[in-house]
């Protein structure tokens, strides 16, 4: 399948060390050689970089890792096309991004959702895929449900969770559905198979820093824990919030 990387922090920080550890898994020591992508939030806007090439071979990703981009929310993905015929194209490379109510929403998925296109429960409304993946279809469906939930006012964590629970539960019936989703305020994490996290607290640049890192499998020798499966986890400023 694919591998996910996520970060939520109280203050802007970089993920350079995590990228250095993740990058070889994209075609060098791991099979995820069909593309890579990263989204760094700058307020409402997400700066998205992605290429349909192995992460381990990407000069662009190497530059980003050394550049030390700083953000409070990051979503990353290294891809293994499944099925293989949905191959190396920019349109099929995660993370996917769309605008909703004046904010960039970004989504990355690990798993497979066979039959999503033909299931009438998942008929799309406003948002539609550009590529051919089940992942992007699922993203568009979640955005449709979020669009229904707002009258233009900002969505809080409870609103986001309430809008997402029904479609997420339905999508889990199709197969493996592990994902990261953000609007620049909230980092939503969900897994019905595998996703891990580690929490860090330290003083950085004179400020108390709170950081949560998420990855499909542990990136370091720290005590990474599996997130509780089947439940939406929403992080704000490096801490999980009640939803």
Dist CA 199 CA 243 (whole Å): 19
DSSP-derived letter for residue 142 is: H
Residues sharing a CB contact under 8 Å with residue 85, sequence separation 6 or more, in sequence order = none
Is the Cα torsion angle 47, 177, 7, 17 positive or negative in sign? negative
Bridge partners, residue 207, by sequence? 204
Angle between helices 157-172 and 134-148 (to 10 degrees): 140
DSSP 106-123: EEEEEEE-TTTTT-GGG-
Catalytic residue among 2, 140, 172, 202: 2
Instruction: Give, for 6, the enclosing helix (H) or strand (E).
Output: strand 3-13
**Residue 182: closest CA among 72, 55, 26, 80:** 72
DSSP 72-139: EEEEEEE---SSTTS-S-GGGSSPEEEEETTEEEEEEEEEE-TTTTT-GGG--SS---SSS-HHHHHH
Q: Are 142 and 167 in contact (CB under 8 A)?
A: yes
Whether 2 sits among the annotated catalytic residues: the reply is yes
- Residues that are catalytic: 2
């Amino acid at each position: 399948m694919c591998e996910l990387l996520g970060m939520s922090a109280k203050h802007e920080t970089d993920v350079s060390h995590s990228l250095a550890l993740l990058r070889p898994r994209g075609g060098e020591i791991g099979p995820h050689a069909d593309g890579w992508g990263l989204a760094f939030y700058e307020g409402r806007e997400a700066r998205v970089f992605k290429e349909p090439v192995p992460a381990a071979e990407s000069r662009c990703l190497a530059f980003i890792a050394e550049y030390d981009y700083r953000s409070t929310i990051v979503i990353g993905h290294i891809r293994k096309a499944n099925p293989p015929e949905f191959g190396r194209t920019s349109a099929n490379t995660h993370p996917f991004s769309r605008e909703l109510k004046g904010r960039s929403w970004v989504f990355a998925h690990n798993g497979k959702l066979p039959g999503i296109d033909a299931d009438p429960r998942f008929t799309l409304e406003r948002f539609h895929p550009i590529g051919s993946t089940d992942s992007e279809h699922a993203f568009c469906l979640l955005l449709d449900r979020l669009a229904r939930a707002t009258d233009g006012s900002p969505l809080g964590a409870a609103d986001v969770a309430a809008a997402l629970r029904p479609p997420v539960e339905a999508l889990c019936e199709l197969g493996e559905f592990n994902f990261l989703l953000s609007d620049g305020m909230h980092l939503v994490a969900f897994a019905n198979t595998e996703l891990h996290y580690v929490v860090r607290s330290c003083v950085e640049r004179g400020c108390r820093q709170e950081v949560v890192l998420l990855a499909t499998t542990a990136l370091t020798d720290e005590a990474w824990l599996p997130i509780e499966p089947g439940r939406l986890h929403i992080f704000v400023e490096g801490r999980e919030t009640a939803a």
